[in-house]
Chain A
């Protein structure tokens, strides 16, 4: 049994919008992330997958549930404070490429060096700048980009810079929140390869959040499917794609367009009616490692 790096139990997060309205953005979600694995989290927009990521990073304080990182309950203020430095260096997050994902007024060198600067880490390779250059080279860019601003880079390059910044702390857990969503197909492939490389060569564990199921199938070891704040299915990749159990997963898989005109045009599609969804079901293990949200048969 591989070591459990991250243990999420019954995580719930409710956003209060006003006196009368609230959203259960995340509702009773439980999963484990093992050391050295890539766990995919998929779902449509608003399904709560980004909220999960933000709870894991202590950006949101969830309404209920427990998150343990290497046995440390990160939601407990005192435990968090005691392990603060470890948590801040060992966990890193990467966001979707957007105008606000990197500070427009900082140079690439300063962006990559920011975490080292914050934690006053003595750079192993001499100066902060050389360290930044090393990390940049690792993600496939040369040192000439050090003095450029994010606005002068393409989307794929900006995402590489964000990854370089995260890698500079040599983290154990990388939370990637839709890292390839706004990139072109050929650039997506480059970034996905980079993630795969990080995982295989350096053993980083990755929580990979995406809505592109084909990429998730290629990259991840296990996949969790979320719908309206609930985790509806969690299974090893091959099993999930080969033998989906939940109706929503089936609909989702049948909706992925396959890049082949003959196959795609003759493929049956499964519809999923929102009304069929029973959010009060129990998340049960049907076969070893394969969890499904099942109807509550009280």
Chain B
């Protein structure tokens, strides 16, 4: 299948007063139509910066330093903000983490959704815009949309606001949806509803989705493919089954082991020692080496390349090099509920 989004060797730097932060380092991946790709990582691993870079929503201090972004086969790396305005909403849309602040508090919800409809169809008559807004509100599961059209964001609960944000994102039938921690700010029960909605939309409209999350549980419920990010790099990428049942990178092992759900019966949770490195001066070799009990000497000298495990499964660890000693993964395999 032809990929809809292709990221090649993308690097993003943030110029902060304390030094230059290498937030995204040499990231490549593809996104195919109709699939859900999840990007998993801890805070500060650059997953949010990566998404913002794709849509060119980076703050002024952050710059794309290298690499290319192909959307629909077109190189948009050097597009200006004006050019991007034509793509945003139409080709790709963004759903933000915090629905409480993402909506303008002084404009009624319906009008804010209508604005998104009008961006790409400025000549649409008022009545049709209204009908389209109602349709969108129904699509994202806002009941009694005609009554709620004129309400302000403060009348809405967190879950309702996130639904409204999704209606805005879907206004112009985008082909790609970037959902940046869409459920993190919500309660568990609401989170489940929003995840259901994401899946429903994805099936109904066939929108390709990039789902950013720190929660392996959330990702498990929605993702077709999973990419694990650490210290600005993708360290492992594969289908959900491959990553969950046959993880190859020690960081993935560590993440899974520290989950209480997979630790039933253990006296203690397994933890990853230490902390993620600051990305002002990333370490010379593998950034994860100093927290990795399986680290090899070479990890401290040279960054590992992406090793191929299958056509869809890749991981960046020297353990996959033929010269490396064989290690049995401490976790993996199918489980019974």
Q: A257-B217, A261-B244, A262-B241 are in contact. Are A44 and B256 (CB under 8 A)?
A: no
Question: Which of A185, A255, A260 meets B191, CB within 8 Å?
Answer: A255
Chain B proximity of A223: nearest CB distance (Å) = 13
Binds B, one of A5-13, A263-271, A276-284: A263-271
- 28 inter-chain pairs at a CB distance below 8 angstroms, sorted by A residue, are A45-B187, A154-B275, A156-B275, A185-B255, A185-B258, A186-B42, A188-B258, A189-B258, A192-B269, A193-B269, A193-B271, A196-B267, A214-B259, A218-B263, A257-B195, A258-B217, A259-B216, A259-B217, A259-B219, A259-B244, A259-B262, A260-B220, A260-B244, A263-B220, A264-B217, A265-B221, A269-B196, A272-B189
CA of A260 to CA of B259, assembled, Å = 11
CA of A188 to CA of B258, assembled, Å = 8
Closest 7 CB pairs of A and B: A257-B217, A218-B260, A44-B187, A189-B258, A255-B192, A184-B42, A259-B216
Question: Which of A188, A214, A262 meets B261, CB within 8 Å?
Answer: A214
Contacts of B267 in A (CB 8 A): 196
* Residues 199 to 225 of chain B near chain A (Cβ within 8 Å): 214-221, 223
B264's nearest neighbour on chain A, judged by CB, is: A218
B268 touches A196 (CB 8 A): yes
Interface, chain A (partner B; CB < 8 A): 44-45, 154, 156-157, 184-190, 192-193, 196, 211, 213-215, 217-219, 251-252, 254-265, 267, 269, 272
B262's nearest neighbour on chain A, judged by CB, is: A259
Chain B proximity of A145: nearest CB distance (Å) = 12
Contacts of A262 in B (CB 8 A): 241, 334
A258 touches B220 (CB 8 A): yes
CA of A138 to CA of B261, assembled, Å = 27
B254 in contact (CB, < 8 A): yes
A44-B188, A261-B240 known; 8 other A-B pairs, CB under 8 Å?
A156-B275, A186-B272, A189-B258, A255-B189, A257-B220, A261-B221, A262-B241, A269-B196
B189 touches A259 (CB 8 A): no
B43 in contact (CB, < 8 A): yes
Total number of B residues with any Cβ neighbor in A under 8 Å: 42
CA of A254 to CA of B195, assembled, Å = 13
A186 touches B254 (CB 8 A): yes
B191 touches A190 (CB 8 A): no
Q: A186-B255, A189-B270, A190-B271 are in contact. Are A44 and B189 (CB under 8 A)?
A: yes
CA of A255 to CA of B196, assembled, Å = 11
Chain A proximity of B218: nearest CB distance (Å) = 5
A185 touches B259 (CB 8 A): yes
Interface, chain B (partner A; CB < 8 A): 42-43, 187-192, 195-196, 214-221, 223, 240-241, 244, 254-256, 258-264, 267-272, 275, 334-335, 337
Contacts of A265 in B (CB 8 A): 220-221
B244's nearest neighbour on chain A, judged by CB, is: A261
Contacts of B218 in A (CB 8 A): 257
B241 touches A261 (CB 8 A): yes
CA of A272 to CA of B190, assembled, Å = 10
B337's nearest neighbour on chain A, judged by CB, is: A263
Question: Which of A156, A213, A215, A258 meets B337, CB within 8 Å?
Answer: A258
CA of A157 to CA of B276, assembled, Å = 12
Contacts of A251 in B (CB 8 A): 189
CA of A261 to CA of B240, assembled, Å = 7
Contacts of B255 in A (CB 8 A): 185-186
Chain B proximity of A244: nearest CB distance (Å) = 14
Question: Which of B188, B196, B215, B334 meets A252, CB within 8 Å?
Answer: B188
A46's nearest neighbour on chain B, judged by CB, is: B187
Contacts of A257 in B (CB 8 A): 191-192, 195, 215, 217-218, 220-221
CA of A258 to CA of B192, assembled, Å = 11
A217 touches B221 (CB 8 A): no
Chain A proximity of B204: nearest CB distance (Å) = 17
A253's nearest neighbour on chain B, judged by CB, is: B188
Q: Which of B241, B259, B263, B270 has the most CB of A within 10 A?
A: B259
